[in-house]
Amino acid sequence: MSTSLIEFIQKKMGFPPLQKVDPVDHEVKHEGERTMREKLAQAAIPTVLASLYKFTKSEEGRINILSNKAEENWLYTILGDKELLAVDKVAHYAGVSKEIAEENMLMIALEAIHALRESIVQHPTQEAITRYMGDQRHSILVYLPASMQLGSLLDDDSLDDRTNKMEGPVSNWMHSIENKFSGNDDTNRYP
């Protein structure tokens, strides 16, 4: 996959393009002018993918993905008992019903698992999952509005940390150093 996972999901599911969050307040500019569908995409896609990132940090999560089980509800598998809270946050942000938010999040989760599995098909290992999702982390976080407060929901403050969403020459250099120290930087990248 040559594009980021977040862009792949957005295009595959026919959602409008997502907007990167503003570097100052970490919210989407002109939020009031956006349609419900745009807001739904902006909330649901990064929420599901950030949750998937967190899920793949555990050995149990990686084993579950490698098992090739056909899960009926990947959203629940990824979020566990926090699924309904995440759905509520997305529904509130987008101004849609919980049913619409959940339906879209279920489809996003399923597409994300398929894309992840396809990306590591040549090397289906836990390490490949860790590396792939680590590579995706920054591109997910730059689209995640701060008002979602997903880090507090998932007990991972790094998701809400504004420095993780910064971009520019210095920030990108710092992110590359961060990837080297976290074990996410490898010359063997998977497409």
pLDDT for 175 equals: 45
Helix axes 126-141, 169-182, angle to 10 degrees: 160
Cα distance between residue 35 and residue 2, in whole Å: 28
- The tokens for 116 are 């992840």
CB contact at 8 A, 82 and 153: yes
- The tokens for 125 are 């290992």
Angle value at C-alpha 130, between 124 and 134, nearest 5 degrees: 135
Cα distance between residue 59 and residue 27, in whole Å: 32
| Sign for the pseudo-dihedral over CA of 15, 53, 110, 124 | positive
| pTM recorded for the entire structure | 0.83
pLDDT for 178 equals: 53
- The tokens for 32 are 């009031």
From first to last of the 191 residues of the chain, give the pLDDT tens digit.
Answer: 557 999 999 999 999 999 999 887 778 886 677 899 999 999 999 999 999 999 999 999 999 999 977 777 999 999 999 999 999 999 999 999 999 999 999 999 999 999 999 999 999 999 999 999 999 999 999 999 999 999 999 999 888 765 554 545 555 444 455 555 555 544 444 43
pLDDT for 6 equals: 96
Would you kindly state where each structural domain of the chain is located, as residue ranges? 5-182
User: Within 13 Å and on the Cβ side, how many CA atoms surround 20?
Assistant: 11
CB contact at 8 A, 41 and 18: yes
80: left (phi over 0), alpha (psi -120 to 50) or beta: left
Cα distance between residue 183 and residue 74, in whole Å: 26
